[in-house]
Structure 1
Amino acid sequence: MDILIRNACKEDAPEAIPLIMEAIGDISMQMTGETEEVEITKEFVQLFTRTDNRHSYLHSYIAEMEGKVAGVLVFYSAEQVVTLDANLEEYLSNKKGVPIKIDPETLPGEWYIDTVVVDPTYRGHGIGTKLLTYAEQLVQNFGGGNLSLNVETEKDSAIRLYNRLGFVTVCPWTIIGQTFHHMVKTVDAD
């Protein structure tokens, strides 16, 4: 089966958002300021269709199989996320009436894989690997650098995949009180 990777568009939200929410778990509450799944979903759809935050369609790529969204990659630079998160913090602070701070997820100078997720229907077809390879190609096209991601410490199969693709754990990381491995792969310029 052919896998097409393309830039996301606003219309991908209904299929992409449930996958992103599955991948990031409780972090979705921090990103939306909501606690109920229906409200989290509505808020995430709104964020996805906007252009000013880390979960915008502008920073997302879709793996398409059989005309369906089979996987999602959310990707941006550490420099971009400074502005993207400042926008999100302002939005959430205004919404909640109290100052909100988003936990950082990257080191300076990195290209960051925020989310990589494959629809359960399409797992086992190499889509996750293709999305990770696509992120690597983006970094090559941008002149090379460190490509990073965070993975929960108990996700052994994901850690093995990342190791196989050349990522190494460089330090522990904490996001909303959960422990992650911060993994990095150095990518040469194209």
Structure 2
Amino acid sequence: MSIIIRQAQPQDAHAVVPLIIDAIGDIANRLTGEQTAKAVEQELTVLFKREDNRHSYLNTFVAVENEHVLGILVYYNGVEAIQMDANLVKWLEEKNAPSIIIDKEAHEDEYYIDTVCVAQEARGKGIGTLLLQFAIEETQKRGYAKLSLNVETQKEDARRLYERLGFVITEPWSIIDEPFHHMVKQF
């Protein structure tokens, strides 16, 4: 396999948006203010092509082989997340979506892995690990001392993978009233 990781582009939406939905499930409904699968995908595509929110192409990296997207990484810093989430709430209000509170997912001094997802046909080939290693290297290049992520408490296999990469549980976390482990890798 000759997989490269590159910055996502707006034209990657057709491949990236379904992977974001696969990873975040019903949260996509909340983030778009939509209920039907088609409407969620359409509105998440709008968000992906914008530059002012957490699921923007600017915060997304793709693992590609022969220009076929095999996996994604949505990644940003905790300081920027505050404004990006405020922009999302404003967008939802402008489209008269149900009122939403966006839960904080990272501390301001951390770079944050929001979403990692590998296409079904490419799972088990180490692409998720490649994306995580990319985030680790990128965080160091950007001069941050901490990289964080949240993992659902019941996802023990995922937690063990993160621990093998040097992440440690630092505190309990709650996202949409669900329990998570906040995990941090320090440099």
TM over 0.5: yes
SS of the residue corresponding to residue 121 of structure 1 reads helix
Pair 21,98 (structure 1): closer, same or farther in 2 beyond 3 Å: closer
Paired position in structure 2 for 1:153: 153
Paired position in structure 1 for 2:72: 72
1:36 equivalenced with 2:36 (yes/no): yes
Paired position in structure 2 for 1:186: 186
CA shift, 1:178, in A, is 1.5
TM-score (normalizing by structure 1): 0.94
Read off the aligned partner of 2:132 and give its amino acid letter. L
For residues 9 and 70 of structure 1, what CA distance do their matches in structure 2 show?
15
Paired position in structure 1 for 2:10: 10
CA shift, 1:108, in A, is 2.1
Gaps of 5+ in 1: none
Paired position in structure 2 for 1:52: 52
CA shift, 1:66, in A, is 3.5
Read off the aligned partner of 1:58 and give its amino acid letter. L
Read off the aligned partner of 2:67 and give its amino acid letter. G
- Structure 1 residues 49-58 or 102-111, which shifts more? 102-111
Paired position in structure 2 for 1:111: 111
1:163 equivalenced with 2:163 (yes/no): yes
**Contact 1:54 1:76 (8 Å CA) reproduced:** yes
Percent identity at matched positions? 48
TM-score (normalizing by structure 2): 0.96
For residues 178 and 35 of structure 1, what CA distance do their matches in structure 2 show?
20
Deviations 1:75-126 (A, max 9, x none): 0000111111110011112222664321111112110000011111111111
Paired positions, count: 187
SS of the residue corresponding to residue 108 of structure 1 reads coil
Read off the aligned partner of 2:75 and give its amino acid letter. F
- Structure 1 residues 95-104 or 176-185, which shifts more? 95-104
Read off the aligned partner of 1:43 and give its amino acid letter. E
Gaps of 5+ in 2: none
1:121 equivalenced with 2:121 (yes/no): yes
For residues 30 and 178 of structure 1, what CA distance do their matches in structure 2 show?
14
Superposition pairs of residues 12-27 of structure 1, within 5 angstroms? 12-27=12-27
Pair 97,163 (structure 1): closer, same or farther in 2 beyond 3 Å: closer
Read off the aligned partner of 1:179 and give its amino acid letter. P
